[in-house]
Amino acid sequence: MTTLPNGHVLTVTCASKRGIVAAISGKLAELGCNITDSAQYDDPATGMFFMRVTFIPETGADAQVLHDGFAPVGHAFDMAWAIHDQAHKMKVVLMVSRFGHCLNDLLYRWRIGALPIDIVAVVSNHMDYQKTVVNHDIPFHCIKVTKQNKPQAEAQIMDVVRETGAELIVLARYMQILSDEMCQNMSGRIINIHHSFLPSFKGANPYKQAFERGVKLIGATAHYVTADLDEGPIIEQDTVRITHAQSPEDYVSLGRDVEAAVLSRAIHAHIHHRVFINGNKTVVFPASPGSYASERMG
């Protein structure tokens, strides 16, 4: 049986104009590539064009050949573009405080291959999950954060990011507000799970806020982190129905599963290069066939 080279993902963002799709597909064919999945969106409000293409270089063209070959098309349409090797597992740092449901869910999905990432470190401001993390053979860093030492603590966190080569930070219920500087340095590379259906109920105690308003749906929102608290571009959301008879504590318990599912879906979309930032919103393309498959069941 012949083994084909690894697949690649091409991501494109540019101003909308006639001929983009034809130029992309034509160039990939010229480079000996077979397109296996394609999605595009032309935003009439902003005049921007977004496209994600998965393809296989059937003639064995390597990354440099693909990059050099596609560059003239990127230049002609003034594209922001990249070609990603699908075999590459993105290096991720997870951050957590004292609520461990998202961390444990991500560790399980990582272990069975449902989230094909390389977890290079877990950072926490508490020691609660040290044993859990170390038992997974992942480095654990306890970095305490106070008002007095916050700049030094963030410098330590960024040291971990640099030393591990991390490409993404995931705030898996990390209950500390990041500085503007850190948000800007990692723009588009920090995902947070907010235990509320944004844009409602921002800030602290959103479930309590929802309870006091008597809502009938509670939810969770995964978004990119920006300097504006809980205002970053939204990647994924979901809800669960509740009744008038449930307490604030019920809201917290019911929200756990939603938070874990929403966060994992957002990470899945990001690592597969399906998310495009479009101003203060996002374009999120559907998953390619086979991308949800796990290597094993447990």
Tens of pLDDT along 133-161? 999 999 999 999 998 999 999 999 999 99
Asked, for residue 24, whether it belongs to a domain, the answer is yes
Shared domain check, 186 and 99: yes
Does the annotation count 230 as an active-site position?
yes
**For residue 167, is pLDDT > 60?**
yes
Quickly count: other Cβ atoms within 10 Å of residue 104's Cβ.
Answer: 14
Asked, for residue 174, whether it belongs to a domain, the answer is yes
pTM for the predicted model, two decimal places: 0.92
- Phi, psi of 154, rounded to the nearest 5 degrees: -65, -35
Instruction: Count the domains in the chain.
Output: 2
Are residues 56 and 81 in contact, defined by beta-carbon separation less than 8 angstroms?
A: no
Shared domain check, 201 and 122: yes
Shared domain check, 169 and 80: no
Shared domain check, 178 and 41: no
Task: List CB contacts of 115: < 8 A, sequence separation 6 or more.
Answer: 106, 109, 264, 267, 268, 271
Last residue within a domain, chosen from 48, 69, 85:
85
Last residue within a domain, chosen from 85, 104, 126:
85
Report how far residue 287's alpha carbon sits from residue 275's, in angstroms, rounded to the nearest whole number: 10
Q: Say which of 230, 238, 250, 257 is annotated catalytic.
A: 230
Are residues 132 and 103 in contact, defined by beta-carbon separation less than 8 angstroms?
A: yes
Q: What is the pLDDT of residues 32-88, one digit of tens each?
A: 999 999 999 999 999 999 999 999 999 989 999 999 999 999 999 999 999 999 999
Shared domain check, 268 and 217: yes
Shared domain check, 99 and 66: no
Asked, for residue 2, whether it belongs to a domain, the answer is no
Asked, for residue 3, whether it belongs to a domain, the answer is no
Shared domain check, 34 and 116: no
Q: Which of these, 180, 18, 27, lies nearest to 10 by C-alpha position?
A: 27
Shared domain check, 160 and 78: no
Shared domain check, 182 and 104: yes
Asked, for residue 205, whether it belongs to a domain, the answer is yes
**Structure-model confidence comparison of residues 292 and 128, the more confident one:** 128
**For residue 5, is pLDDT > 70?**
no
What is the CATH classification number for the domain harbouring 151?
Answer: 3.40.50.170
Last residue within a domain, chosen from 85, 116, 148:
85
Residue 20: domain span: 8-85
